[in-house]
Structure 1
């Protein structure tokens, strides 16, 4: 009973941290570019995860045959998907970023069928349809600008690529530490984006990083949102079955919307809430599907 309770707390913490991530990103992106922010966030996360790995005496060995899937996780999940999340959030809003990417569990149904040969049921099909309609509704809101619509499309790409990455993780042998796999994947993504990040850096604007909002946001995203949230999520899933654990993902859009309204003064329209309900309904159907 105590284990189940602690698992729920870990999962709620992780999802809530990710919900707040969109608000923090929105503030920091007003100062530096998305690729710079991701790069700096990963450098902080790598340092943090490295210290944790050394302190806990993790084994860093990985077999050659498993390198391709770890490489794919790093490029698809931690490079393309995270970049799309930050760019999409910059052009849209914290609420839209949190809600659209919450469709990830429903999109995982498709990739699980293709890569893992998992059975697709009518309920799973319905869940994907609901989530897709919800995303399209949010992206196509009539009272938002073209910039926000483009941001919504990019956020949709983020949800799809994160879903693909999540399924690819299941191809990694379970005898590896999740901390080690996460560290290697982030390292791969960091190396891949380094040329792009360096090209974006402007020497005459480095003083902007000294602002409390900038360095505070980078530390939050690197330590709390990346290293911390991943640890809480993985730890929670060790104590709670995956199907029930997926329910706690709903705290991400809930917290993201609440904090976006409270700190950024973002408005929430009727169409946005309808799309939100459709996405959450689709995700709920997907994760409640019985084997």
Structure 2
């Protein structure tokens, strides 16, 4: 009889556990989509600030992006008391990623370099079983990852073939993709840290970028409009997006979130076209269908 009651309890509890898990995944996906929405504005803002030296742009935006966490840290300084290796991981993710990405954009055509950079969602899906315990990669995840990358490639290139003659310039972009994917996954391997600590990652990374700017680039000359756009860049794609991304990774399945990330190049391209007054192309519509199909397939897996 006792075993019968235990079985009955397990059967009645299982639906509730599934509902709780579903709600957690919905919250994680909402945070991830919020980060993706902010990252979608990166290209449009970068075009408007194309005359600003890239290292200064990165450094100033990351420092500004850390500002929302300052009041929380003033109330509770322990929010930024994290192990040194956790801070090193944060700097690895934010500073090294942007440094290599801007290096790639200087030495290879921007569209093609950006395409290589958008390998990071696929790498999140494929590297999750290698870097996270308890993760298992299924053939549906691989199929969804490849389908999503096909959509991302189509969205960025418009169906054109990248210039193989400049392949050497793509290496920093490939390294950047690996860094962001591995950073995103390895935040689950270090001791638990509050999301507020992302502000410390951004502050230290931004100061390093500004130091590199002082050593490697001419002094930046900004107008009032530039500072306003820089504030939007810092509080959005190079600031708030990191906090939302960290919350998503803490709550959700990294494989599903990686597949959802394929929406970023589509949203970014669409917003850039809107800012420029261009109409969506057939390739962008097809890319959207591929990426949404990949996201649905990945989540069903």
Q: Which moved more, 1:116-125 or 1:272-281?
A: 272-281
CA contact (8 A) 2:60 2:210 kept: no
Distance 1:217 1:87, change over 3 A: farther
Q: Return 5+ residue gaps in structure 1 as ranges.
A: none
- Once the 2 structures are TM-superposed, how far is the Cα of residue 232 of structure 1 from its aligned partner? 3.9
Q: Tell me the number of residue pairs that the alignment of Structure 1 and Structure 2 aligns.
A: 275
Match of 2:137 among 120, 124, 129: 120
1:73 aligns with 2:86: no
Q: Does 1:40 align with 2:56?
A: no
Partner of 2:242: 230
Summarize deviations over 1:238-263 as a string: whole Å, max 9, x none: 78776766675455334312211111
Closer/same/farther in 2, CA of residues 115 and 241 from structure 1, 3 Å limit:
closer
Q: Which residue of 2 aligns with 1:209?
A: 222
After superposition, residues 233-244 of structure 1 pair within 5 angstroms as 233-234=245-246
Contact 2:262–2:291 (CA<8 Å) still a contact in 1?
A: no
SS in 1 for 2:82: coil
Query: Which structure: larger Rg?
Result: 2
> What secondary structure is seen at the aligned counterpart in 2 of 1:59?
helix
Q: CA RMSD in A?
A: 4.2
Q: RCO greater where, 1 or 2, for CA within 8 Å and sep 6 or more?
A: 1
Report the CA distance shift for 1:235/1:144 in structure 2 as closer, same or farther (over 3 A): closer
Q: Deviations for 1:212-252, whole angstroms, at most 9, x for unmatched residues?
A: 0x212210111233332333445567787767666754553
Deviation at 1:79, TM superposition (A): 1.5
1:165 CA displacement: 0.8
Report whether the alignment pairs 1:189 with 2:209: no
Distance of 1:140 and 1:150 partners within structure 2? 22
> Structure 2 vs 1, CA of residues 126 and 6 (structure 1 numbering), >3 Å: closer, same or farther?
closer
1:259 lines up with 2:271 in the alignment: yes
TM-score (norm 2): 0.69
Q: How far, CA to CA, are the matches of 2:230 and 2:148 in structure 1?
A: 31
Report the counterpart of residue 177 of structure 1 in structure 2. 194
**Quick one: distance in 2 between partners of 1:276 and 1:86?**
26
Q: Is the 8 A contact 1:106 1:283 kept in 2?
A: no
Question: Equivalents in 1 of 2:199, 2:165: separation in Å?
Answer: 34
1:106-145 counterparts in 2 under 5 A? Answer: 106-117=122-133, 118-131=135-148, 142=160
* Residues 106 and 286 in structure 1, CA contact (< 8 A), matched pair in contact too: no
Specify whether residues 259 and 139 from structure 1 end up closer, same or farther in structure 2 by C-alpha distance, changes over 3 A only. Answer: closer
CA 1:276/1:11 → structure 2, altered by over 3 Å: closer, same or farther? Answer: closer
Which of 34, 38, 51 is matched with 1:17 structurally? Answer: 38
Distance 1:156 1:274 in 2: 25
Mark the CA change 1:173 to 1:47 in structure 2 (over 3 Å): closer, same or farther. same
Query: In the alignment, what sits opposite 2:4?
Result: none
